């Protein structure tokens, strides 16, 4: 998880990479979009592959792929080779995201599962913080290539530790791998990601957008038909029939759908309305990560001592309260007030993530751990992408543009600021409503738990 989260450093290095290859930012952004899209597309497949061939074996192969990829990117001579090799790196990243919770669950007693998953989440946050703050220093002193090359020794260390210390988790003799189902899953997710991306380029009803949507729908329909007819479907039939798993995945999706608004709407608001500078915004956006780092192990321990559904309800309720509190902000709001809200969101996320993972992973059999981890990662990725696409589209449609904020008269500026603030509050009201729905679903899971 540390290696996966260190990739936040790439965001900091994009301008330097663009200068190095004399490329425009549109081309360089593919370094991010290709990586995220490839990760989302294959992590469910790799989770099931691990169930069939063994968690430890696939995890080690993922480390090898990741290490080779960051080495090749570090010595790449063209932007095209960097982008192509990011697909290989995404395979390793998908393995980390899908199998880390599975391996942790299989390696610790049930009484410590939540706390162990909480520490796993916290380690991921350490990587994000190090990647965000350390990348600037590395790039200034050694160049952008070293944000990749510096991960090679870390990967070798992780590989050695995995070989020697990871338990030999046996593959399930009952697990099967249907290749046609795997291809249909890849097609449906890939075309869905292309559809969501295309809406931001050509709009919702362009021919390209509709083609991607239709392709995803057809692939998904064929997948469902095949799952119904197979005696051993790719996704175990009774896995999603367990409410703790299916509703846990839905709640995970809702949490990321609601919370990710803070990373693409709030920076514009505090910059254009409150007047924060780039450095302040960078520090400001790390506040949730710091508090998540602290609260994740505590949330996991709380889940172990009570019930994961109760702990996830508490976490989601904190998120809902913090999102709803943004209804009181205006152009006179202080940085301290925003920081308190972001700290609260970090606490809620930490409690929710560790307990939600414990809820899902604790209700699957050993032969389903990989696919369950893949589904959890997929729900997270879909939540973040849908947040950017849907809530972002609403915000862009309603808000006043930056140029309008610098109108010729004070009356025009005042009206523009008012419109901007109302658009901001409207989007946060939707996010809070989504969070409240998550509270209700988690509460229902807790109330309906087995005695």
Reported as a single tens digit per residue, the pLDDT across 103-132 is 999 888 989 999 999 999 888 888 877 776
What is the rounded distance in angstroms from the CA atom of residue 368 to the CA atom of residue 50? 9
- C-beta atoms surrounding 355 within 10 Å: 33
Whether the pLDDT of residue 410 is over 70: the answer is no
Share of the chain above pLDDT 90, in %: 44
Q: How far is CA 53 from CA 117, 168, 184, 332, in A?
A: 23, 12, 20, 58
Last residue of a domain, one of 118, 138, 171: 171
> Is 356 found in the same domain as 275?
yes
Whether the pLDDT of residue 412 is over 70: the answer is no
Q: In which band, very low, low, confident or very high, does the pLDDT at 247 lie, cut at 50, 70 and 90?
A: very high
> Is 343 found in the same domain as 382?
yes
Q: Is 115 exposed, middle or buried (0-12, 13-18, 19+ CB in 10 A)?
A: buried
User: How confident is the model at residue 363, as a pLDDT?
Assistant: 92
> Is 263 found in the same domain as 212?
no
Last residue of a domain, one of 130, 148, 171: 171
Between 71-80, 136-145, 208-217, the lowest mean confidence (pLDDT) is in: 136-145
Q: CATH code at 61?
A: 1.20.1250.20
This model's pTM is above 0.75: yes
> Is 252 found in the same domain as 223?
no
Angle between helix 369-386 and 30-53 (nearest 10): 160
> Is 358 found in the same domain as 254?
yes
Average pLDDT over residues 335-363: 93
Average pLDDT over residues 269-296: 80
Q: 130 lies in which domain range?
A: 1-171
Q: In which band, very low, low, confident or very high, does the pLDDT at 402 lie, cut at 50, 70 and 90?
A: very low
Q: Tokens 């109108």 belong to which residue?
A: 407
> Is 209 found in the same domain as 144?
no
Between 17-26, 190-199, 247-256, the lowest mean confidence (pLDDT) is in: 17-26
Whether the pLDDT of residue 430 is over 90: the answer is yes
> Is 251 found in the same domain as 136?
no
Average pLDDT over residues 397-420: 63
Q: How far is CA 240 from CA 218, 278, 371, 376, in A?
A: 21, 44, 11, 12
The number of domains in the chain is: 3
> Is 314 found in the same domain as 368?
yes
> Is 285 found in the same domain as 413?
yes
Average pLDDT over residues 149-178: 81
> Could you tell me which residues come within 8 angstroms of residue 284 by beta carbon, excluding any fewer than 6 positions away?
270, 276, 335, 338, 339, 342
> Is 58 found in the same domain as 119?
yes
Q: In which band, very low, low, confident or very high, does the pLDDT at 390 lie, cut at 50, 70 and 90?
A: confident
Q: Is 303 exposed, middle or buried (0-12, 13-18, 19+ CB in 10 A)?
A: buried
Average pLDDT over residues 402-420: 61
Last residue of a domain, one of 206, 233, 260: 233
> Is 248 found in the same domain as 208?
no
> Is 362 found in the same domain as 224?
no
User: How confident is the model at residue 171, as a pLDDT?
Assistant: 60
> Could you tell me which residues come within 8 angstroms of residue 407 by beta carbon, excluding any fewer than 6 positions away?
413, 416
Q: In which band, very low, low, confident or very high, does the pLDDT at 403 lie, cut at 50, 70 and 90?
A: very low
């Amino acid at each position: 998880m540390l290696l996966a989260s260190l990739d936040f450093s790439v965001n900091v290095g994009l301008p330097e990479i663009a200068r190095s290859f004399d490329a425009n930012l549109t081309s360089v952004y593919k370094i991010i979009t290709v990586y995220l899209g490839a990760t989302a597309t294959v992590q469910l497949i790799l989770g099931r592959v691990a169930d069939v061939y063994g968690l430890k074996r696939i995890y080690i192969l993922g480390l090898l792929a990741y290490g080779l990829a960051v080495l090749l990117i570090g010595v790449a001579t063209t932007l095209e080779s960097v982008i192509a090799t990011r697909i290989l790196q995404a395979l390793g990243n998908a393995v980390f995201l899908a199998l880390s919770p599975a391996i942790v669950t299989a390696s610790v007693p049930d009484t410590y599962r939540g706390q162990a998953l909480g520490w796993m989440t916290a380690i991921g946050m350490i990587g994000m913080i190090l990647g965000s703050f350390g990348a600037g220093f590395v790039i200034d002193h050694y160049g952008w290539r070293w944000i990749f090359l510096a991960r090679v020794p870390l990967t070798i260390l992780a590989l050695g530790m995995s070989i020697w210390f990871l338990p030999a988790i046996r593959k399930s003799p009952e697990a099967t791998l249907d290749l046609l189902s795997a291809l249909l899953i890849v097609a449906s997710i890939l075309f869905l990601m292309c559809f969501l991306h295309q809406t931001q380029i050509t709009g919702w009803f362009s021919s390209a957008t509709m083609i991607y949507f239709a392709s995803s729908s057809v692939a998904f329909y064929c997948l469902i038909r095949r799952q119904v007819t197979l005696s051993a479907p790719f996704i175990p039939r009774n896995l999603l029939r367990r409410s703790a798993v299916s509703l846990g995945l839905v709640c995970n999706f809702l949490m990321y759908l609601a919370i990710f608004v803070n990373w693409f709407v709030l920076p514009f608001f505090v910059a254009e309305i409150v007047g924060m500078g780039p450095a302040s915004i960078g520090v400001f956006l790390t506040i949730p990560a710091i508090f998540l780092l602290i609260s994740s192990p505590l949330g996991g321990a709380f889940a172990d001592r009570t019930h994961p559904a109760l702990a996830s309800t508490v976490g989601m309720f904190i998120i809902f309260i913090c999102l709803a509190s943004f209804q009181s902000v205006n152009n006179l709001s202080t940085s301290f007030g925003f920081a308190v809200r972001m700290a609260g969101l970090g606490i809620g996320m930490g409690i929710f993530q560790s307990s939600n993972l414990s809820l899902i992973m604790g209700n699957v059999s050993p032969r389903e751990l990989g696919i369950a981890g893949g589904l959890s990662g997929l729900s997270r990725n879909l939540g973040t992408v849908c947040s950017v696409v849907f809530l972002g589209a609403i915000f862009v449609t309603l808000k006043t543009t930056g140029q309008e904020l610098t109108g010729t008269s004070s009356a025009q500026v005042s009206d523009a600021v008012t419109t901007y603030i109302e658009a901001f509050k409207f989007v946060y009201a939707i996010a809070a409503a989504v969070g409240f729905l998550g509270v209700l679903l988690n509460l229902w899971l807790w109330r309906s738990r087995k005695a």
